[in-house]
Structure 1
Amino acid sequence: MIMFQIWNIIMETLDQLVEILGDQKVSSEGFYRILESGFSSLEVGMIPTTLDQVLVGDIRRSKSQDVRALFVVGCNDGILPSGRQEEGLLAAEERDMLCSMGMDLGGSTELLSAEERFGIYTAFCKPSHFLSVSYAVSDAEGRALRPSILMDRLKKLFPRLEITGDRHVDTEPLMRIVTPKSTFPHMVCHMRSLADGKPESDLWWLVYDWYFRHPAWEKRRQDLEKALFYRNQEAPLGRDKAAGLYSLPIRASVSRLEQYVHCPFSHFIKYGLRPGERKQYAVEAPDIGELFHQSIEGFTAEVAEEGLDWRTLDDEKCGAMIDKIMDRILPEHNHGVLLSTHRYQYLAKRLKRTGKRAVWLLTDHIRRSSFRPIGNEISFGTRGTYPPIEIELPGGERMYLEGRIDRADIYREGEDAYLSVVDYKSGTESFDLSDAYYGLKLQLLVYLEALLEMEQRKINGKARPGGIFYFRIDDPLINTQEQVADVIQGEIRKKLKLKGLVLKDVHVVQCMDRDINGYSEVLPLGIKKDGTFHSRSSVLEEEQFFRLLGHIRRLIRDIGDEMLHGNIRIEPVRKGKETACRFCPYDGICQFDSRLEDNGYRLIHPLKDKEVLRKIEEDDRKPT
C-alpha cells in the first residue's frame, strides 16, 4: 500500500515538472534541487487497518517510530548482544589496523560493536509505557542457556527489578503443547516420569499418539522408546568364554587385581578387549613416576657397582650421581619429550631437584636404620628373578601373581629375618587398612607375601614381616622461621615420612630408626617413655600381619574365581566422594549413569583398623 502511494507521488511530481519547465534545459544540480524541493513538501499517509497493531522484527533492523509497549525476547548470552566471532582470514586486530589506514572493510570490530550497543539502547528507549525483556533458560534440546549481560545491567539500573519466570506447573500441560518441535522435549520428560512410575496427565499419551501417527517423527520416536527402556548392564560371559578370553592359567599383576575390584567392566575392557590408547607426545603423571623409578634404580645400581657405603654417602656425591643418571635418562625417556620445549626443560630441572631430594632422604633412612637393602626392582613371576605367587582357585585352576618390588630391606637376628617392602610413589599415597581389607589396595601386602616366601626358602629360621611402606618422592615447601639446616631437614623428614604398617615390636622399630625419640621422623609411629606405642601409631602384631596376609590370599582367590565366571558388571566402586570412574579412560565405552535403574555404585563403607582386624579374626574362625 505504501509503495503504491510512493509510485503515484513520483509520477505526479514528474508530470508537474513537464508542465512547468516544458522543453527547458536545466543542469543536473538544478534538476536535483527541484526534485528535492518537490519531494520535501509531500507526505505519505496510511489509514491503519486496525485500531491496534503489533510489529514483529529484528531489533537491529526495526526502524519503527515510538511504540506504546516493546517486548524483547531471546535476551541470551551470545544473542543480544551478539557474540561476534572472527570470520575470514583477518583477525580483529588486523581489521582495525587496516581500517585505521583508510581501507573500507565494512567497519572495524569496535565500530560494529558500538553500533550494536547503540541499536539496543535506542530500541529499549522506544516504548512509552511498557518494556518487557525475557530470556530462555534452555534450548529446544534441553541444554542450559545463560542470560545476557544486559540483564545484569538492567538490575543495576533498577535495583528493585524482579525477574519472574513463565514456567507452568503440571496442572497446565496444555501450555506446554505448542509446535511439534518444541513439544517433543516436554513429552520426553513426562514419558520418563511415567516410565519411572510417577503420576502424569493422560494428555501426554494423546501427544505420544500424535507423534506415533506421523511418519516424519518415527525415527525420533523410536529413539525415545529405546532410551526409555534402555538397560546399561552386561551379562556374565560364562566360564568357557572367560577362560578363552583371559587364557589359563591367569597371570595377573597386583594392579590388575585392584582394577577388577574397582570395576569388573573396566578390567574386562583393559585385559579382555585390550584397546590401545593413542600415546601423545606429552608428559603425564605416570611418565614422571616412571622417570623417578628409573633414576632411583640407576642410583642404587651405581652405588652397588662402585661398592659405595650408604653410611658414608654425602649430599654432594648423591647430587652429582643423580644429575649424571638423569642426564642419561632424559633424552631416552618417552622420545626425549622432556627436552623438547623450554617449558619441559624447566620441568626437567625441577624433576632433577626432586630426584636429589629423594636420594638424600633415601640415604638418610638407610643411615638411620639397621635394616639393609637386599635388592631393588626385584621381580617375581614367570620371567622374574623369583617364582610367582601361586593361588589355587575354588575350581581347581591356578592363578599366578607377578610383580616388581621397588625395594626390599632385611634385618637378621639369629636365624630369623625381618623383612620390609618399600614402594616409591611420586603422588600423595597413603596406606589404609580398610582399603586393603576390601581389596582396593593390595600392592604392598602382596609384595610382602612374595618377599616372605622368597626369603623363607633361603633361611633355616623364620621370615617375619617388618613393615610395608610408601616412600613419597617430592620436594616439599617447609613453612618455618628457622634458618638452621638441621631444623629444616627435620621438617622435611616429617613431611616425607613413610606411610604404611610396622611390626609392633619396639626392638624392631628401633632397628628401623635408631634415632627415634618419641615420634619418629621416618616411621608412622611414636614410642612413649614407658616403651609402649602411641595410639596413633600404624603398628600390627606379627600374628595380625599373618592373618592380614591370609585374608589377602582368600580375597585374591575370590577375585580370580569371579574373573573365571565372567563377571563383567558395570559396577564401579564408590568410597565417600571418590569413585572408580574419576580417572577411568573407558567411561565413553561403559556409559555408566547412576541415574539408570541398573547402574549403581558398589558402596564401600570405611572401617576403622580395629573393625578390620576383628572381621579378619572372625573370618579365620569360619570353617573353610
Structure 2
Amino acid sequence: MQYVLGARPRQKAELAPNISGTLTHWVLEQALRREGSAFAKLTQPQLEQLVESLVQEYTAANLPGAGVRMNYLLGRIQRNLVGLLGFIQRDVRQSGFQPVAFELRIDDRPDSDDPDAPRVDPVQLDDGRGHTVRIVGTVDRVDTMELGGKTYIRVVDYKTGSKKFDLREVYYGLDCQMLLYLFTLERNGGHLFSQGTAAGVEYLWADPAPENIIRPETDDAEPSQAQNYPLEGLLLDEPSIYHAMDTRGTGAFVPLSFSAKTGEPTAQSAKARLADREKFNRIRDHLDGMLTDMAKNLYSGEIDAAPLVPNAGKSPCLWCEYRTVCRHADGEGERTPLKPDDPFGAE
C-alpha cells in the first residue's frame, strides 16, 4: 500500500507524531552536525539557544502559521530536546565512541539534493532466480571508535516513543532495520570506516513518557543534564567495547545493568543485550536468508498479510493505518513466535 501504490492515510492538520518525530530527528542531526567537536563544550545557555534557533528555523520552513495549540506542542518538544541534547552531550564527553555521520544514506543512487553527500552502497543479495535484492535506507547516526587497527561502528537510532528490543522479534523479521544498516556499513562502508567492525546498535528513546525518564542520583548535574534517556539495543560482547561506551559503568549510556560488586554487566542484561562475534554473524546470515526468501515470495506474488501475533497478544493489524483497505481477516494467516528466548544461540 505504501511503497508500491503510494497510498497515504489521511492526516489532520496538526503536529502529528510523525511530524514531531521528523522535527526531533532534524534538530538532533543539525545540532551535532553544525557544532561538530564544539558540541561537547557548549554551556547550558548555548545549548538552549541552539535548540530554540533550530526549532524556529524548522517551523518557519515547514510549519508556517502555527496556531496556539501547535506552538504549545512545539514548546514541549523544544524543552525535551534541550534535555535530550544535554544527555547526548554527557555521553559524548565520557565515551570512546564519537558521532561521525548523520542521516547517512545507504543507497547506490546519488542524492539529488546533495550529489556529493557521503553514502554507502547497499548490500546486494541474489535470490537464485535472477533477481537482486538491495536494502536502502538512512542511518540516523553513526558513532565510531578506533581500536587495535579496527574502526568499531555503532549505529544509533532515535525513537520518539517507547522501544523494546527483542531478538525473538528480529528472528521473525521485525526490528531488523538497525541491524541491517550495521551489517551494511561493516561490509560496504570501507571507504568511510577503515577495517569497519560491528560494535552494536542502540535505540535512544528521544521522547519517552515522563515515568520512563531516569533521574541521576547526584544533584550536581547541570539543568540540561538533569535526566537520562532509556536505551535499548544489542552490543558486541567485548569488555573493551561496552566499557568504552560507558566508561564508568553507570548503565546510563548503554542498554546494560552493571554489577556494583564486579563492575561487569549483570547476567540478565548480558544475556539479552550482548552478542559475541559469532552470534552477530549468525544474525547477519539469518537476515540475509530471510531477505532472499522475502524476494522469492514477492516475485511469486505472495503478498498476503502474515502478522506476528504473540501468545495471548493482540494482532498488530489493529493499529495498521491501511486496515480498512487491506481487509485482512483477524485470525487468518497469523504467525505465533515459537523460538526460544535466545533464537540465535549457539547450536
TM-score (norm 1): 0.50
Aligned residue for 1:572?
A: 307
- Which residue, out of 282, 286, 298, partners 1:563? 298
Q: Which stretch shifts more, 281-290 or 403-412? A: 281-290
- With 414-423 and 382-391 compared, the bigger mean Cα shift is at 382-391
Which residue does 1:553 correspond to in 2? 288
Cα deviation for residue 352 of structure 1 reads 0.5
CA distance in 2, matches of 1:465, 1:281: 41
Correspondence for 1:418 among 152, 167, 171: 152
Aligned 8 A contact 2:95 2:247 in 1: yes
Within the alignment, does 1:585 sit opposite 2:321 as a pair?
Answer: yes
CA contact (8 A) 2:156 2:202 kept: yes
Q: Does 1:347 align with 2:78?
A: no
- Counterpart mapping for 1:507-546 below 5 A: 507-517=240-250, 520-528=251-259, 529-530=261-262, 532-537=264-269, 538-546=273-281
RMSD of aligned residue pairs (Cα, Å): 2.7
User: Which of the two has higher C-alpha Rg?
Assistant: 1
Name the SS for the 1:465 alignment partner: strand
- Matched to 1:587, the amino acid is R
Aligned to 1:379: 105
Give the superposition deviation at 1:310: 3.6
Matches for 1:158-177 after TM superposition, within 5 Å: none
Q: CA deviation digits over 1:305-344, x for unaligned, max 9?
A: xxx43432222211111110111101222x43xx532111
Distance 2:214 2:129 in 1: 57
User: Deviation digits for residues 518-577 of structure 1, max 9, x if unmatched?
Assistant: xx1211223444465311221111111122111111111111111111102243332242
SS at the partner of 2:137?
strand
Which residue number in structure 1 is paired with residue 175 of structure 2?
441
Is the alpha carbon distance of 1:574 and 1:543 closer, same or farther for their aligned partners in structure 2, counting shifts above 3 Å?
same
Superposed CA offset, 1:473-514 (max 9, x none): 126356989893449988832xx2321011111111121111
AA at the equivalent of 1:292 = T
Q: Quick one: percent identity of the two aligned structures?
A: 23
SS at match of 1:418: strand
Kindly indicate whether residue 131 of structure 2 is the aligned counterpart of residue 402 of structure 1. no
2:114 aligns with none
Once the 2 structures are TM-superposed, how far is the Cα of residue 348 of structure 1 from its aligned partner? 0.9
Give me the whole-angstrom Cα distance separating, in 1, the residues matched to 2:159 and 2:192.
30
1:388 Cα deviation after fit? 1.8
Q: Which amino acid aligns with 1:409?
A: D
CA change 1:497–1:509 in 2 (3 A) is: same
Q: Secondary structure at the match of 2:294?
A: helix
**One-letter code of the match for 1:361?**
F
Shift of 1:279: 4.4
In the alignment, residue 548 of structure 1 is paired with which amino acid? I
1:503 aligns with: 236
Aligned ranges for residues 307-386 of structure 1 at < 5 Å? 308-333=37-62, 335-336=63-64, 339-384=65-110, 385-386=119-120
Pick closer, same or farther for the CA change 1:480–1:329 going to 2, 3 Å: closer
Q: 1:457, CA displacement in angstroms?
A: 4.8
Letter in 2 for 1:550: D
- Match 1:469 to one of 180, 187, 202: 202
CA distance in 2, matches of 1:345, 1:502: 39
**Aligned 8 A contact 1:422 1:468 in 2:** yes
Alpha-carbon separation, structure 2, partners of 1:407 and 1:315: 23
Letter in 2 for 1:501: L
- Note if contact 2:310-2:336 (Cα within 8 Å) is conserved in structure 1: yes
TM-score (norm 2): 0.86
- Pair 1:381–1:484, CA change in 2 (3 A): same
- Is the 2:308–2:315 contact (alpha carbons within 8 Å) kept by the matching residues of 1? yes
Cα contact 2:83–2:226 (8 A) shared by 1:
no
1:57-106 C-alpha deviation (Å, 9 max, x unpaired): xxxxxxxxxxxxxxxxxxxxxxxxxxxxxxxxxxxxxxxxxxxxxxxxxx
Q: Letter of the aligned partner of 1:467 in structure 2?
A: G
- Deviation readout 1:326-373 (Å, 9 max, x if unpaired): 11101222x43xx53211111111011011112111111111101111
Deviation at 1:472, TM superposition (A): 1.0
Q: After TM superposition, give the deviation of residue 294 of structure 1 in Å.
A: 1.0
1:429 corresponds to which of 163, 169, 172: 163
Instruction: Give the direction of change, closer, same or farther, for the CA distance of 1:320–1:387 in structure 2 (3 Å limit).
Output: same
* Structure 1 letter corresponding to 2:21: G
The offset of 1:301, in angstroms, is: 2.1
User: Aligned equivalents of 1:546 and 1:531: distance in 2?
Assistant: 27
Q: What residue number does 2:18 align with? A: 286
Alignment of structure 1 residues 89-488 onto 2, 5 Å: 269-304=1-36, 308-333=37-62, 335-336=63-64, 339-384=65-110, 385-457=119-191, 462-474=195-207, 476=210, 484-486=219-221
Aligned residues: 332
User: Which amino acid is the alignment partner of residue 438 of structure 1?
Assistant: Y
- In structure 1, stretches of 5+ residues that fail to align are 1-268, 619-624
Q: Which protein has the bigger helix share? A: 1
In structure 2, do the counterparts of structure 1 residues 572 and 470 end up closer, same or farther at CA, with 3 Å as the change threshold? same
